[in-house]
Structure 1
């Protein structure tokens, strides 16, 4: 595993696994604790794995969990493709309110590390997309929060040409200017 790309925002990392391919198919290590800790320069421990299945044009997010249940996420696409977005919600950060975005696909096999203190969301670019998350903390309903996915102040370029498919919850998340960060 190697860090593929660093961003103007401290924290998130794009990780490229070493993939071995031949006429049979492919093999790669999608997770190895020591290698991840070496890449991150800290001791990360994952407590929960999540997986979602979505049709094309589903937008999930922007979600986070507040302390003490904050979550770092190591995400990847198993099948299909997504545009993945992380928004810095660390109030003392020089990049507060800024975002990074990456395209994760079954073909590129990239993994994206989103540390605690970021709101996270993704848009599926293909039907039958399977998205996997490794989380550093367990889900806690009372700690969950969210931001409006199309907030004008965040100005995220989702590249959307038609209205995305949203959950009822994601349709009514709060605007960024009303947000009081717990980070």
Structure 2
């Protein structure tokens, strides 16, 4: 497996080897040793989630209060999707910027999204399956969102696909409004939490 640091700090892309044969294919989308070497700590597992989406479905931009936040390790077992990570950490050098990765069931790439970062994706074909490992259980009181269609964010949704967005995400505040409301994570708090996780690792 190959790990690559993305343009926003504290998020990574992982590309595993695939092993096709006459029976089908085998792949290991998550490998702890490669993950720890790249991120600096183990992935805590509080919950696993699976979503199945129609072509054009957008989910996000979602984030959680940090600490503890909710880190995510995401991959696509079936279909394809455009995965988007947005830096929502106030005070970050890349605040308001985004990066994207194509996740599909051909390469089985995965992305790691650290606590405090915003996450969204669009399904590029029907019956697209997203699987993600979450560091913390779902906490409704600590969950928030930013409108994925925010013109100022200008997320890279394909123009040839009609977006399908939930009412919850459509009515979420834009980035400017979320900043004014004081709901966004602070970069210093997130960085301190990442360091705490790394310091807890056995030497």
Correspondence for 1:2: 2
The farther-off stretch of 11-20 and 80-89 is: 11-20
> Could you say if the C-alpha distance between residues 90 and 116 of structure 1 is closer, same or farther in structure 2, counting changes exceeding 3 Å?
same
Structure 2 unaligned regions, length at least 5: 187-203
Distance 2:34 2:161 in 1: 40
Deviation at 1:69? 4.1
Distance 1:170 1:160 in 2: 19
Correspondence for 1:102: 101
1:182 aligns with 2:181: no
**Which TM-score applies when normalising by structure 1?**
0.93
Residues 52, 129 of structure 2: 8 Å contact kept:
yes
Distance 1:17 1:27 in 2: 10
Deviation at 1:108? 1.4
Residues 29, 109 of structure 2: 8 Å contact kept:
no
1:125 aligns with 2:128: no
Let me know the Cα RMSD of the aligned residues: 1.4
**Which TM-score applies when normalising by structure 2?**
0.85
Residues 66, 116 of structure 2: 8 Å contact kept:
no
Residues 62, 146 of structure 1: 8 Å contact kept:
yes
Distance 1:32 1:89 in 2: 27
Correspondence for 1:55: 54
Count of residues paired in the alignment: 182
Residues 16, 107 of structure 2: 8 Å contact kept:
no
